[in-house]
Amino acid sequence: MIQKFFKLQIETNGLRLYEISDKIINWIKLSKFKNGILNISIQHTSASLIAQENADLDVQTDLINYFDKLVPMNSDLYIHTAEGKDDMPAHIKSALTNNQISLSIKENKLLLGTWQGIYLFEHRINQQNRIVVLHYLGD
């Protein structure tokens, strides 16, 4: 059994999706992993991880707009407002999506569908430094 960890540092500059598939796939290739599980976790509660379509960029625009409408920034509902109007919506969007994804690696290949990419979904409007932990466990 082999285990390996890697900290992916992603600098974000605004509320949108950032594709991280290539960074993950490069690390898998360089590390020459055979078969195993890759656990990907984001160390924050105001950004999340999602697998989404990587073909038409309009899908990302629609996703962002939908979530902005579903979880509005200017709402009387929130009492946690000290960190900015985008902070509480960011926590809620994080709860509605995922902090963590486990993916399978077979013969050094990440088992994603043809149209699937892995994205960091940034929910804050200002610049942020995000840490995503990659953890491989396999042979």
**Which spans of this chain sit near its own copies (rule: CB under 8 A)?**
1, 3, 5, 35-37, 39, 41-46, 50-53, 56, 58-59, 61-63, 65-67, 69-71, 77-80, 82, 88, 91-92, 94-104, 106, 111-116, 131, 133, 135, 137-139
At its nearest, how many Å lie between its own copies and the CB of residue 29?
Answer: 19
Question: In this complex, which beta carbon is closest to its own copies, that of residue 45 or of residue 127?
Answer: 45
**Residues listed for the chain:** 139
Question: In this complex, which beta carbon is closest to its own copies, that of residue 1 or of residue 30?
Answer: 1
Question: In this complex, which beta carbon is closest to its own copies, that of residue 29 or of residue 109?
Answer: 109
Structure-token pair, residue 109? 């290949």
Q: Which of 88, 134, 125 is nearest to 12 (CA)?
A: 125
The amino acid occupying position 83 is: E
At its nearest, how many Å lie between its own copies and the CB of residue 30?
Answer: 19
Question: In this complex, which beta carbon is closest to its own copies, that of residue 29 or of residue 131?
Answer: 131
Helix/strand/coil (H/E/C) assignment for every residue in 66-133: HHHHHCCCCCCCCCCCCCCCCHHHHHHHHHHCCCEEEEEEECCEECCCCCEEEEEEECCCCEEEEEEE
At its nearest, how many Å lie between its own copies and the CB of residue 61?
Answer: 6
Query: Between the CA of residue 47 and those of 4, 21, 27, 98, 129, what are the distances in Å?
Result: 24, 16, 22, 9, 11
The amino acid occupying position 109 is: K
Question: In this complex, which beta carbon is closest to its own copies, that of residue 26 or of residue 65?
Answer: 65
At its nearest, how many Å lie between its own copies and the CB of residue 13?
Answer: 20
